[in-house]
Amino acid sequence: MYPENTDTAALTAAGMTEDEATVEARRIITDAYRPTAYRDTSPVPAHGSTPPVAQPGRPPMSQGATDASVLMLSGAAATSMVGGTAAVLMYVSQFADPVVCGLVFGAPTALVLALARLAKRARPAPDIHQHYTGPVYQDQRNVTTNTRGVWARTNNHQ
């Protein structure tokens, strides 16, 4: 790392001995190669007042938005695979009818969408368990809100 023949002529001309000049030259070289940054290796606290910083990759969002994003990405991948298969089939066969290919490859997608909608409607209503101690007045009302017009007029009906 350090050159063995350090030019000490300038230092000896300044009134230093050969040994002092060699030591001073090595000190100057050592200072030149010293790192100028320091990394603090102490552990970072898990909690604090510092706000979170967005990391590279997907932007921060709620759990529902993350689930919807993954669902859209997987749906796009499935659609592109089905469309790519249909395109390759039509190109290879050179006489495939696009309408027939659309029906063959579109039917599973329509079936999956219909089953998903049916499963969503068939989901049972959640049970509500409320446990109280002491006298409690419980008022459960349904309010229907209807907002119409250019200048919004809201009517609440019980």
**For residue range 46-69, what is the model confidence (pLDDT) as tens digits?**
777 777 777 787 777 888 888 888
Q: Is residue 54 part of a domain?
A: no
Helices 63-93, 98-121: inter-axial angle, 10-degree rounding? 160
Provide the pLDDT for residue 13: 62
Q: Is residue 128 part of a domain?
A: no
Residue 56, SS3 per DSSP:
coil
pLDDT at 39 over 50: yes
Residue 157, SS3 per DSSP:
strand
Structural domain span for residue 116:
85-121
Q: Is residue 51 part of a domain?
A: no
What is the number of structural domains in the chain? 2
List the beta bridge partners of residue 145: 156
Q: Is residue 135 part of a domain?
A: no
Q: Is residue 37 part of a domain?
A: no
Q: Mean of the per-residue pLDDT values for the chain?
A: 78
